[in-house]
Structures are given as structure tokens and as C-alpha cells.
Amino acid sequence: MAPNHTADSHLLAEALPNLKQRMDLDQLYTDAGHGGKEADVVLQKQQVTHIQTAIRCNSPNDKKLSLSDFIIKLNEKGKPVQITCPQQQQAPVHPSSQKKDFVAFFDSAICYHCPYWQAGQCPTHPRKRDARHHLEIRLVRAYSAQRRRQSQAQKKEVHNLRAAIEATIRSVKHPFPAGKLPVRGSFRMACLLIGSAAVTNVCRIQHYLKAESQSAQQKESFFVIGKAFLMSWISLFQSPKLYLGC
């Protein structure tokens, strides 16, 4: 429990190690509020993939490529080591001269023939002392770009995960008058919410087991009926058997 003005990304960063230990978590779905620099560091450390149903920031310019259009490969320590552009050109990523950010160098011979570069949409550009096309990458932007790319990929799926999340919250709030807790204080509110969440989980498990039982019964009855129909159909084409008495 925390005050209402506490950032969701802070709550995620605080709760994630415990969630990882208890649930062996490797993939996490949240809304837009849980993304942030503080949570990104913990997510990379715990090796948990964070997929947001939305991104809380300005949308990239559709007329230009953004960092989320590039595929960034991270090492075990969460540092970028390789980047792939939309034209599938790969380039290694190195720490910058000041050791704060990172930089990737692309082959200029390929970049000059790239349709994105010719249209002025590519964020790479050659240096004055180095003709190679380079792209500066801040670690914070690399994390946020990765979250945006994963969020965009999730939106292409059929299932609406946001609806499932909102339905779960509604189930927890529904037992209380007007969806508000009738008590005050962190301890009392936590007790009610934990109890309501536990009852919601038990009800959902019961409904799932009931549906599985009914499905199994339907499959069994269908098999029995199908077998009887098949045997009766086969009997029509069998020659009659003669039984000779003594």
C-alpha cells in the first residue's frame, strides 16, 4: 500500500524482486503508468520482459524513424551491444568517449543507398572526422524504445490484454459500495483488498474447473454417441450371420 500520488514505476521497481522470487516471473504486462527509468533498471536486472498496453509519452514522428524502429540487443548486464536498422544492417554498439552513453557505427556505403536516408528519415548521420554513419544511444532511451517496440508488437495480437486487466480490477472492487473501500488506514485497506483478491481468485479457479469438467463430460458423451452411430452404420453393410442349432 502506498499514497495515491506514488508513481506506478516506483511501485513496480519495489515489488518486482519479490514477484520474481515467488512466481519465477519472466514476462510482465502493465498499463502505461508503470514504465519509467527506475523500473527499467530493475526489470533488466531481474531479466523480466516488460510489455505495456500503452506508452505514456509523445508518439514518435511518423515521417521519421525513431529508436524503437531499431532492434537493440542487450547483454546480461542490460547494456546495448548490437543494433539492427529497419534495412537489416547490423552494427556493434560501443560506449561513447565520455563513457556515459553509447554509439553505433553503420557502413556509409550501405546507408547512402538506403531509402530512409535518401528521404531524410534516418536518425543516423556522418561525423566531420569520421565518414561512417553513427547513432548515439542513451541507455534510458534504449530501454524506453525497447518497451515501445514490444508494446507495438503486442497491439497486433488478437487478444486485448488491457480489457482482461480492467476486468480483474473491477472484480476486486465490485463487492464494495460504489467501488470504494468503507474503511480508512493502510492496514485496514490492505486487509480488505487482499481478502477480496483472494476470493476473486478462488471464484475464477472454481469457474475454470467447472468449465473443464463440463467440457470433459461433453467430449465423453460425444464419443459414446459417435461410437454407437458408427457401429450401427457398419452393421448395415455386414452380411448376416447364420447360427445353426444342434
Tens of pLDDT, residue by residue over 135-146, are 989 888 888 888
What pLDDT score does 230 carry?
59
Who has greater pLDDT, 141 or 224? 141
Of 130-134, 164-168, 225-229, 233-237, minimum mean pLDDT range:
233-237
This prediction has a pTM of: 0.65
Mean pLDDT of 169-191: 87
Q: Would you say residue 217 has pLDDT above 80?
A: no
pLDDT in tens, 73-109: 988 888 899 999 999 999 999 988 777 789 999 988 8
Share of the chain above pLDDT 70, in %: 84
| Max CA pair span of the chain | 112
What pLDDT score does 243 carry?
44
Number of other CB atoms surrounding residue 160 within 10 Å? 12
What pLDDT score does 90 carry?
92
Q: Would you say residue 213 has pLDDT above 60?
A: yes
The domain ranges of the chain are 1-56, 59-145, 159-219
- Yes or no: say if 183 and 192 are a contact pair by the CB < 8 Å rule: yes
Q: Give, as one character, the DSSP assignment of residue 127.
A: -
Most confident of 1-5, 36-40, 58-62: 36-40
**H or E stretch including 73?**
strand 71-74
Q: Would you say residue 174 has pLDDT above 90?
A: no
Q: Would you say residue 181 has pLDDT above 90?
A: no
From 44, 132, 43, 66, select the one nearest 94 (Cα to Cα). Answer: 132
DSSP assignment of 141-168: HHHHHHHHHHHHHHHTSSS-HHHHHHHH
